[in-house]
Amino acid sequence: MRFATPLAAALVLWLALPAAALAENPNDILIVANAAAGADRLSLAEVRDMFLKKRTSWPAGAKVVPVNVTDGSGLRKDFRAKVLGMTSEQEKSYWQERKIKAGESTPSEFGDTLRAVFKLRGAIGYVYRSQFKEGTAKVLLVIPAG
């Protein structure tokens, strides 16, 4: 009988683990889009391509308008590392090269990206889960914190 109690406790902990692992973290990064964007989900690669302006239209044909958080913020640093896979210097170098080769400029920066995404047709941006307000934009992808 002694064996059953620790085994039962281990089983309960094992079953509870997935729920704890899936718990919402206020520092998760939410990829959000204007309600008129015409997409319900995006992959990490699709988001990366949109922010690097390699993909310029939504599935329904509307123009993608990437909206960045102001450079220097913790959110921008987290997004750059987790989504773009770049450092600040690498991102700057990327855009310098794109400007020379294709005349492209960096995505616009806003202090309140959620508001910008809400107002700009075709906009895509990112916020921490703690900053998200239901009804302002569609969540297309969740990037876990950590």
Is residue 28, in this structure, part of any structural domain at all? yes
pLDDT of residue 16: 38
Is residue 107, in this structure, part of any structural domain at all? yes
Residue 19 has pLDDT above 70, yes or no: no
Is residue 130, in this structure, part of any structural domain at all? yes
- Report whether 114 contacts 137 (CB < 8 A): yes
pLDDT cut 70: percent of the chain above it? 84
- Tokens of residue 114, six digits: 């959620």
Residue 5 has pLDDT above 60, yes or no: no
Residue 43 has pLDDT above 60, yes or no: yes
Is residue 124, in this structure, part of any structural domain at all? yes
Is residue 10, in this structure, part of any structural domain at all? no
- The total number of residues shown for the chain amounts to 146
Is residue 36, in this structure, part of any structural domain at all? yes
- Tokens of residue 100, six digits: 């020379």
Q: Residue 46 — pLDDT band, cuts 50, 70, 90?
A: very high
Residue 21 has pLDDT above 60, yes or no: no
Domain count, the chain: 1
Is residue 40, in this structure, part of any structural domain at all? yes
Q: Can you give the CATH number for the domain in which 110 is found?
A: 3.40.190.10
Is residue 7, in this structure, part of any structural domain at all? no
Which residue range is the domain that position 100 belongs to? 24-143
